[in-house]
Chains A and B, each alone.
Chain A
Amino acid sequence: MNNRIIIVGGGLAGLMSAIKAAEAGCGVDLFSLVPVRRSHSVCAQGGINGCVQPTREGDSPDEHFDDTVYGGDFLANQTPVRDMCHAAPAIIKLMDRMGVMFNRTPEGNLDFRAFGGAKYRRTAFSGATTGQQLLYALDEQVRRLEVEGKITKYEFWEFLGAVLDDDGTCRGISALDMRTMEVRTFPADAVIMAVGGPGVIFGKSTNSAINTGTAAASLYTQGVRYANGEFIQVHPTAIQGIDKLRLMSESARGEGGRIWTYRDGKPWYFLEEKYPAYGNLVPRDIATREIFHVCVDMKLGIEGKNQVYLDLTHIPAETLNRKLGGILEIYEKFAGEDPRKKPMKVFPGVHYSMGGIWVDYDQMTNVPGLFAAGECDYQYHGANRLGANALLSCIYSGMVAGPAAARFANGLHKAAEDSRDGCFDREKRRQQEIFSNIYRMNGSENPYRMANELGELMTENVTVVRYNDRLKATDEKLKELQERWRSLNVLDTSRGTANQAVQFVRQLKYMLEMARVITVGALLRNESRGAHYKPEFPERDDARFLKTTIADYAPSGPRISYQEVDLGYIKPRPRVYDVEKKVGTRKEGDQHER
């Protein structure tokens, strides 16, 4: 019998894992909350990095590697990052072969743009909807494999938990049919989680509505380790809205957009002034902190509000339409003004989680047979992600996870069916009990309002600037919310039909768990590195904290420990962007840890 692999998530990482696992001869069951074509990857605008033309401007895959490690403030394990940067050109070419409508040069070659934290143009793009175009190309290949009978899709199914046998090996999953509310278990020889990021924990963010981080959090409560949770990227430029923060891609600055506000009645281009080498293209954490500082501390926001200008008006409208059409549409549609004529108003917003499920270099978690890929893993971005590196890491990690899961399945002694040991029944009963308790919740509190409270608490205390006293208070508050969660009202007691309220009450429980992982991780990291900034500890402290944070679940709260970082290639050096980056010194003879 063919090995079966379950893949949870149909964003870039999940779809690429699915294609690779199918190519390796496995039968694939693909689960997703939404039709995979509507996954959050569709939102990515700016592009995907890869040094496709090494000779151009003196760029090379090693330069890309150095930018990524340096941009991530040396917290990423270097071996997988290096492998990714070297695989990047082939990935872009592969996506091109799949029919992605990348922008072209007059000669018909791929066109590249500049992105933050990079001095070279190595970002391939498809208008301003690159994520959409990449996702569709993979979705189409998966559809083809579906027709060939190699992949089966389960859309509108929510992953609930892993089925673990008595040895602690992953044998399958439990999942909820979102239309009938039925809980079922599914056996598999290996499982790959590609469930995306947790932005919704912060209430309003640039993420899609389903990005609650619940799937990763529920695994964490089953003993799956979570790494570097405190590293949350806040994107410098988002439009503020009631329901979400809509991203203005870094490509706006890549194409020449300028950030400014008024000082003494005159335009002040504060990024260009402070960081002459990179100007408006400093990495995200730096741009975010500067904008935050100018608005919150100096009170120089436009119209006295927390906002600055992102100005494109000096660029010809025709160029803007061709290169940035998609994001300008978003601005016009949601802010009601024409960014070709009037500078856009923006402020930082929670955007991406560098942290995620701990995985080894085969993308396997600490649970045998359980893999993770995409934004939900922690592997490629260290303390801060460079623009246009996420799409790359999602596709790349899928390319690693798919074959690795197939290899694991081949080496597995007992096929899933033979090893039931009651573990499927046990998992099903566990999940059914969780739901029957939720259906009975008739307390006084509203889950959606509690989620708002959580979002505000996290955004205020655990984003751009972090203070230990406030982090401590936040964790206390989170414990209180966990208590109050019990007195929620489920709002909708109907059974047997799409009950989103019941689903949300469950998700909220896990969002609170994950919020604590993020907060406690931040509290204990007494330094500043990448996206994590503490005024009380403004320096990077390599002696104590050049380490991966590991969170293990305990009912009373996360247990935090630290792990060495793989520094096999580039020696850590201070990260400064007011002068040109110095090329990293390669260390000789260092052992890489696996």
Chain B
Amino acid sequence: MSDKPIRLKIKRQNTPDSSPYWEEFSVPYTPGHNVISVLMEIQKNPVNSRGEKTSPVVWECNCLEEVCGACTMLINGGVRQACSALIDKIGRELTLEPITKFPVVRDLHVDRGKMFEALKKVGAWIPIDGTYDMGEGPRMAPKDQEEGYRLAKCMTCGCCMEACPQYNSRSSFIGPAPTVQVRLFNLHPTGAMNRSERLETLMEKGGIAECGNAQNCVRVCPKEVPLTKTLAELNKDVDLYAIFGMLKK
């Protein structure tokens, strides 16, 4: 067992428009590997299982400690971060594929630009007057801070987007991660001043109504962002706003 190599089957694609193909690799086992350190071994010896020279695999990573959100992949069919996928836990047979909800750039590298665009749409920021020294920020109860912090840990990795059945090329749903960020900015005392505008973006096409409450998202979130709980609260906020908020206008 101890010298059994790590075997990988990797779905590769040379360009955004070319067809994908599978390539297999074998990497000697040492304790302590994760999926990224294994891919790094392939860079050091880019030879496939058939003994043919090949190009190193292309993928995205940066922090290597599950906080930047770059390295999202399908690992043995499940979406997760590659840097925290420890071989000693997940085993030595690996299938790696790019996530499917975003266009492939090359191999495991995809373009998640859509997620950042969605953050623009919902107005995911605090509209401050400027960066000049204007004194203190608003006070905040520790329990509000704790709720906000849980949402603010979202690293835009896209795991939840990949898992959500309602987020796909046929629907206009902006997806769980950007939707949930609305709650973060709405609970901040300054952000709350633009609460209605944000809720209105969620009432448009692509908004929260498209969430089917399948709860897949929360199960895959590596940062334990309370997605379904927050989606439910936002649903309530939107409903109440639709009934009362609009009347006031």
Contacts and interface: CB of A to CB of B under 8 A. Distances in A.
Contact of A496 (B15, B64, B134): B15
A498 B88 CA distance: 31
B145 A333 contact: no
7 contacts: A38-B68, A97-B138, A99-B191, A126-B152, A140-B125, A208-B63, A492-B55
Contacts of B113: 35
B140 interface: yes
A140 B124 contact: yes
A497 to B, nearest CB: 5
A16 B130 CA distance: 12
Interface string A206-232: 001110000000000000000000000
B63 A241 contact: no
A43 B63 contact: yes
B153 A129 contact: yes
The binding surface of chain B is classed by DSSP as loop
Interface string B61-94: 1111111111000000000000110101100000
A137 B128 CA distance: 11
A19 B131 contact: yes
Q: Which 8 A-B residue pairs are closest in the complex by CB-CB distance?
A: A96-B137, A108-B139, A140-B125, A492-B55, A99-B126, A243-B37, A101-B149, A38-B68
Contacts of A330: 65-66
A342 B88 CA distance: 20
B119 interface: yes
Nearest to A504: B43
A496 B55 CA distance: 15
A179 interface: yes
Contacts of B45: 446
B126 A96 contact: no
Interface in A88-140: 90, 93-94, 96-99, 101-109, 126-127, 129, 132-133, 136-137, 140
Given A109-B139, A133-B152, A501 B67 contact: no
Contacts of B139: 104, 107-109
Contacts of B145: 101-104
Interface stretch (B1-9, B27-35, B200-208, B240-248): B27-35
A243 B140 contact: no
A108 B62 contact: no
Contact of B69 (A38, A93, A147, A498): A38
A131 to B, nearest CB: 9
B33 A242 contact: yes
B198 interface: no
A110 B216 CA distance: 36
B46 to A, nearest CB: 6
Given A40-B63, A144-B127, 7 more contacts: A101-B152, A103-B142, A133-B149, A146-B120, A208-B64, A336-B86, A496-B15
Interface in A188-210: 208-210
Contacts, number: 188
Contacts of B124: 140, 143
Interface in B130-148: 130-131, 133-142, 145, 148
Interface string A141-178: 10110110000000000000000000000000000000
B116 interface: yes
Contact of A38 (B32, B70, B88, B128): B70
A37 interface: yes
Interface-centre pick from A42, A129, A209 (highest chain B CB count, 10 A): A209
A146 B113 CA distance: 14
A491 B53 CA distance: 9
Contacts of B63: 38, 40, 42-43, 208-209
A241 B68 CA distance: 18
Contacts of A499: 58
B14 interface: yes
B133 A40 contact: no
B196 interface: no
Interface in A496-518: 496-501
A565 interface: no
Given A99-B190, A448-B43, A34 B65 contact: no
Interface string B22-50: 00000000101110110010011110000
Given A98-B126, A104-B142, A501 B152 contact: no
A23 B126 contact: no
Contacts of A34: 60, 62, 68, 70
A108 B143 CA distance: 9
Interface string A34-69: 110111101100000000000000000000000000
B64 A209 contact: yes
Interface-centre pick from B40, B65, B184 (highest chain A CB count, 10 A): B65
B23 to A, nearest CB: 13
Contact of A492 (B56, B119, B138, B142): B56
Contacts of A38: 62-63, 68-70, 155-156
B55 A179 contact: no
Contacts of A35: 112-113, 116, 156
B125 to A, nearest CB: 4
Given A97-B126, A107-B139, A243 B153 contact: no
A289 interface: no
A142 B23 CA distance: 40
Contacts of B123: 144
A246 B149 contact: no
Contacts of B30: 242
Given A94-B133, A97-B190, A494-B55, A143 B119 contact: yes
B106 interface: yes
Contacts of A497: 14-16, 105-106
A446 B191 CA distance: 52
B84 A40 contact: no
B125 A500 contact: no
Contact of B149 (A96, A127, A242, A496): A127
A144 B125 contact: yes
B101 interface: no
Contacts of B36: 243
B112 to A, nearest CB: 8
Given A127-B149, A132-B155, A498-B105, A40 B43 contact: no
A141 B86 CA distance: 36
Interface string A466-504: 000000000000000000000000011010111111000
Nearest to B151: A101
Contacts of A147: 120
A108 B125 contact: no
B149 A126 contact: yes
Contact of B68 (A90, A98, A208, A492): A208
Contact of A498 (B43, B46, B106): B106
Contact of B126 (A42, A104, A140): A140
A452 B109 CA distance: 24
A243 B120 contact: no
B185 interface: yes
B11 interface: no
A268 interface: no
